[in-house]
Structure 1
């Protein structure tokens, strides 16, 4: 990871992540109260987060 971030391309990708991913996660936490999942298993968690993301799209 450190090698990837030290390259110019890696820094560029990481900078873009701030604008693409972080606001969505922040909205999930602030507006929808999703701080953690109470389910077990990857498929269950994917379904749970999928429902939250679908509801976020409906609110848009």
Structure 2
């Protein structure tokens, strides 16, 4: 079994950042900014996964969904 030391380093760094007061404040804001949008995409638009390949295609697909969500507002 191999252990990726770089992965462990970044995992510990993230844990340190999230345990700080500033990190917790940022994480709390994420709950109000990002998560509801993803929830609406899943619930109202049925977007659970993309069936496209390639980063540009996926960006275009999600971009269309987000534009349609803005039009519905």
> If the TM-score is normalised by the length of the shorter chain, which range does it land in?
over 0.9
How does the TM-score come out when normalised to structure 1?
A: 0.98
Runs of 4+ in 1 over 2 A off after TM superposition: none
Unaligned runs of 5+ in 1: none
How does the TM-score come out when normalised to structure 2?
A: 0.81
Q: Give the number of aligned pairs.
A: 60
1:46 maps to which residue? 59
Which structure ranks higher in relative contact order (CA pairs < 8 Å, sequence separation ≥ 6)? 1
Larger Rg: 2
Unaligned runs of 5+ in 2: 1-13
